[in-house]
Structure 1
Amino acid sequence: MADFIQALDPSKLVLIETVLSFATSAFDAPVYNLPIFLFGIYAQENSEAIQSLKAFTGLVGGSLIYDIIWMAKHEQNWFVRMLTIMILILKVPTALAFVTALHQRGAQFSGLGFRGNDLSGATVWSMPGGFTSPLGGGARNGYQTVNDPVEPPKPTGGAPPTVNAQPTAPGAYQSV
């Protein structure tokens, strides 16, 4: 079965389904199929669009259920019904071919953004301005971390400090 799915050409499947959806769009047929497959043509041709491929694959898989519900609630003539059933049947290998294409491009197909079963994600984060998480240690790029105490500036041989001077952290921004 896996060899059959890998042998499928996703671009031809999407093109066939786009043409069938266009043919049924003038009649009483699911209106969401044509926009989904037009988006699929874009997603398939754009090689850098991994997110678009994921979105299209999810839309095709989800629209399988909507097709069944739509056909149960609406009456169609026999020819348009046959074309709608053909589109429904072709959605299964299309979704499987796009999942295979995503795996070949190295993408993980999970809607929540987790890597497989790894729910922990990154453990150390940093904020702009050099503030780091309690898990990360030390200062970064001359900034102090949140947990480090503020050291007052050391006097230099120049002018004595004024009465209103406030201590600043090394490398901190100062207003003029």
Structure 2
Amino acid sequence: MKKPWLGLLIVIFCFFPTRVDSVGLRKLYSTYYPPDKMARISAEGFKMTGSQLVWLPKKQKPTLTFIYHKAVPFYEQDITLHFSSTVTHHSESRVVKKNFHCQKDQKEEAFLHPKFGAYVLCSHDLYAKAFPTARNQTPIKYKTASVFPREGNRLPHITFQLHGFEQDIQTLMHSIETLDERP
């Protein structure tokens, strides 16, 4: 008798050490992705807080995700706004076609990284209040963006989910580097 749940088996390794890009993890991850094909974010204020290695059935290699976090004081009221961003390394290319367009409710932007090439950013604005029911409180505007590589990109298997203020999204995109660029 066939067991249908066996086809859905997923192996997950989550690491949350004090230094996620430690030598041991770098060695483990580089068995699947060479350092010059692994990207990370090096923007000030965003700290790497974790990583995941997920191997789905019938895939040649696992999906590797680096998780970044930034905490921002919110309205000076002992409340903090938290932004999380991810860098995901896929087992196959994620290059979008030339005729690709973002969803209708998203803003589409082109971004040319000086080292890695063209990306398309699909973003939309969100608003946050410290106290959602407060009437006289001005909400803070922030963005969320899904980032996909375009044809000719040097890192075609990597996508990004970015969250932050308008200037954070550009800063995050400019801060992308590979693991072989910095020890």
Quickly name the TM-score band, shorter chain normalised: under 0.3
Q: Could you say which structure has the higher strand fraction?
A: 2
Normalised by the length of structure 1, the TM-score is 0.22
- Tell me the TM-score normalized by structure 2: 0.21
Q: Please say which structure displays the higher CA radius of gyration.
A: 1
Structure with higher helix content: 1
